[in-house]
Structure 1
Amino acid sequence: MSAIRFDGKVAIVTGAGGGLGRHYALELARRGAKVVVNDLGGSRDGTGHSDAALAVVEEIRAAGGEAMSNGGSVADYDQMTEMVARARDAWGGVHILINNAGVLRDKTFAKMDPADFEFVIRVHLLGSAFATKACWETFREQNYGRVLMTASSTGLFGNFGQANYGAAKMGLAGLTKTLAIEGARNDIRVNTIAPTAGTRMTEDLFPAAAFEAFAPEKVAPGALYLVSENAPTNVILGAGAGAFQAAYVTLTRGALLTGDDLTPEGVAAHWDAITDRAGEIVPKTGAEQAMTIGTLLQGG
């Protein structure tokens, strides 16, 4: 098994002042990448500022690596374009982007202020889109790019009190799927990781023993593989405590309803057939849904 290296590559990691992002940045640098450590700082609800990114840069430099700090907000597109421009000016390009920055403002939907819903969407979903867009033309020019989005089991499967977070995270999984298709011709590979880790974001959710078992460094191997030269594309990878899982959006064969069955009552009557998972597929593009319907129409 050959070592995965990032020599000659420039990587940007957002939200890299602590937790998962810090470990991603440190390990990328240890394996040869030049790293932009982006972190706005502040608390997990997105308020305040800190010098966390500078501290991580010093760690990287102390270990013999190359890094620069960036305090730009992912929620501001102009700041993201400026960050990419600085990296290009200093190191000649950008090859890897890990969209890790995020915030939490948890409440039940009944009690959630619309501003808190909008802010979480802006940081996670729009922030990842802005950072990726800022890199996209560079990736196309190079015919090379690796992007990692950070989703969550909350987005994939739901979680009480996290409607804003879940909506943003599922949106990121969808963004990944389209960008993986659009980027393929320029060798831009785009993947999603759904991490479970003991970090500042989750410290009050884990018992002490579990917090240690789910250390961020046990997620990092999956993240680095997904931004490596031989990475797959359009993958959703669950990761936590050293365990790695693949998640899929699937489609059942379904049932074709006609005549008197083409009614709400008919849907109810055929519900078992509609939801029967025998022969379900994992579509590679949205067009496959129409194609499976076409197969049913042809009697297949």
Structure 2
Amino acid sequence: MIILAATPIGNLGDASVRLRDALEHADVVASEDTRVTQRLLAGLGIRNRPRLIALHEHNERQKADELVELARDRDLLVLSDAGMPTVSDPGFPLVQAAVAAGVDVTAIPGPSAVITALAVSGLPTDRFAFEGFLPRKAGDRARRVAELAMDRRTLVFFEAPSRLAASLDALADAFGPDRPAAVCRELTKLHEEVRRGGLGELAAWASGGVRGEICIVVGGAAAERADAAGALERVLELAASGTRLKDAATLVAAESGLGRRDLYEAALAARRSPRADADRRLNPPVVPRNGG
């Protein structure tokens, strides 16, 4: 079978008993960086010296079928440099190929930067989404965060220290500078740091340069803003289908409890120019409810 094994994200003391046992008895290990795996073996005092096969983002699709066939006859232990394989790390194409070929896949659970960052962020944990790394290019990054601006779940991102300030700026532009967030740096390591505050405040802090492994955790959109954005989209959809704009605003106001006049004026503003429409999507107005 294929065994996906979580490795420590910083502190070697977090290596589980099952991970140590698997490393001690493994014949073949596919790992993101074989040099990191060698250091892990040495750091944990593992005497076993398994065959190491590199499995990284540049070769994993080419290697998948070969490794699946190898796993038909023996256990294949799969490691990323830190945390669980397949979670923004190599391994997913291998698992896909194994499932398609009928080869068993199991996991040795353990440390996760996503869950650790979420737990210490101080932000809601009941509903969350992991978004991996934001796009490198500014335009692609802006489009991605615009799509997420009204998501009411807590969002978790990975980010490289060199792009942290730019990503926080993009998030602040799309979500608003006061949206609560946390930057979690060097989790479980000696210099662990969790910096909490509004996105604008965190972007200003990060502009001075930050080092280490980074997770960003961002609070979800407030329910009222998300409801207003959805209602405004509904007005525009009805108008596009032929309903008079005033009638569309009246209908949606009755459905949502939001103010008819405010919905109508927001829809007019969205119609005036592409720029206004873009601003609406990135930072929609809070439409008062009827009677308030």
Q: Scaled by the length of structure 2, what TM-score is found?
A: 0.34
Which protein is bigger by CA-based radius of gyration? 2
- Larger RCO: 1 or 2 (CA < 8 Å, sep 6+): 2
